[in-house]
Amino acid sequence: MLTPRVLKLSLLRRLRAADLPPPWRPRVLPARAYHSRTYSSGGSPRPMRQFSEQNESSPQPLIYYIVPSALLFVAGLATFVRYNDERRAVPLAKEAGQGGVPKRCTTNRPAIGGPFKLYDTENNVVTESKLRGNWTLMYFGYTSCPDVGPRQVQKIADVVKVLESKYGIKITPLFVTIDPQRDSSAQLKAYLSEFDPRIVGLTGPITAVRQIAQEYRVFFKKVEEVGQDYLVEISHNMYLLDPCLETVRCFGTEYEASDVAEAITKEVQKASASSTN
């Protein structure tokens, strides 16, 4: 029978023969060459790579895209409006008083109105420069208008007569058609001669008519179209332009001819008083 000491020595020989560490000797593990960097925000650490991947995969809120886009749109719109007003501004004479322009015309007037090129009933070119130096009463309409149009044209004729006979003031009455497809030069001349031959009729290409209507903020739209026949919805306003081509008054359908003539007289007197001071 083997003693405990002999058994212990036999066990040690077997372990050494198998090249195994003894059970009581602590194991020494080799250090790893790769150390992952971590990011900690107070909680359990997370690998940096995993954090970046999650950050890339999560989309940004829409507010980060909407606000800059809105600011760029507003800035672009403001720039366009300013450029459009400067483009529409009627250039003034180089020197005050040149070409019959009053000395008080010293600044551009881009608010309402602008340059245009149309044709009168004699097919002569009419631009804004030909109106400079004179008071002008401008009306937008069309010869096929059934009710309001003829009353407004008759009102213009009455205003011209009252101004000349009662106040000794001469103005240039203009009738700008917004229906150039049907209102030719001959049609305009025949229509306006029934009211007052002094009313100047203007027509032109569709693009030119639309341009001047836009310059003077005139609304018009085709309605009740039946084949080639149609009506046009329009604002029916009259515009009073001073010698500087500034729109100083706007008269709607509610004004009578006497009211328009009196208002024009006041504007002319006010302008004369300011030019003498």
The structure tokens listed for 42 are: 């107070």
The structure tokens listed for 43 are: 């909680």
Question: How many other β-carbons are positioned within 10 Å of the β-carbon of residue 128?
Answer: 19
The structure tokens listed for 47 are: 């690998």
Contacts of residue 219, defined as CB under 8 A and 6 or more positions apart, other chains included, come to 233, 234, 235
Cβ atoms of 208 and 219 closer than 8 Å: no
Q: How far apart are CA 129 and CA 115, in angstroms?
A: 8
Rounded to a whole number, what is the distance in angstroms from the first to the last CA of the chain?
144
Q: How far apart are CA 216 and CA 16, in angstroms?
A: 110
Question: How many other β-carbons are positioned within 10 Å of the β-carbon of residue 107?
Answer: 10
Please choose, from the candidates 175, 212, 176, 206, the residue with its C-alpha nearest in 3D space to the C-alpha of residue 90: 212
**Would the annotation count 145 as a binding residue?**
yes
Cβ atoms of 36 and 52 closer than 8 Å: no
Cβ atoms of 159 and 264 closer than 8 Å: yes
Binding-site residue positions: 145
Binding-site residue positions for Cu cation: 145
